[in-house]
Amino acid sequence: MDKVNVTEKFKLFNEHWSPKIVGEVNDAHIKLAKLKGEFEWHYHEKEDEMFFVIKGRLLLRLRDKDIWLEEGEFFIVPRGVEHLPIAKEEVHVLFVEPKTTLNTGTEITERTVTDLPTL
């Protein structure tokens, strides 16, 4: 039961698209990830997913619009909504999402990450 300094936690890893668990709030996990490049289209069947940009600039592409998220901005992707995160430059993101959430949504792909570490 310690406090978490988000900036310090981000110094502990360098890999992209590999979320780390930094907190647990009832049924939700708080995760941190560094994103760079383009991910893949996916959706989560039963989970809403909050993207909160801590550093950098993230393009969240939905099928019907593009959302640019700057530092200090968040967007909650509702369950069932397809999305594609794109980071031209490295972006640091804090996620709030149910513990059941798989990073690639409904599909298992080579980018799926399971057994997320806790930092």
Q: Which residues bind a copy of itself (CB under 8 A)?
A: 1-7, 23-28, 30, 47-50, 54, 67, 69-70, 72-76, 78-79, 81, 96-98
- For the CB of residue 113, give the shortest distance to a copy of itself in the complex, in Å: 20
Looking at beta carbons only, is 68 or 109 nearer to a copy of itself? 68
Least distance between a copy of itself and beta carbon 6 (Å): 5
CA atoms 101, 22, 12, 77: torsion sign:
positive
Judged by DSSP in three states, 111 sits in coil
Question: Using CA atoms, how far apart are residues 101 and 53, in angstroms rounded to an integer?
Answer: 19
At residue 83, the 3 state secondary structure works out as strand
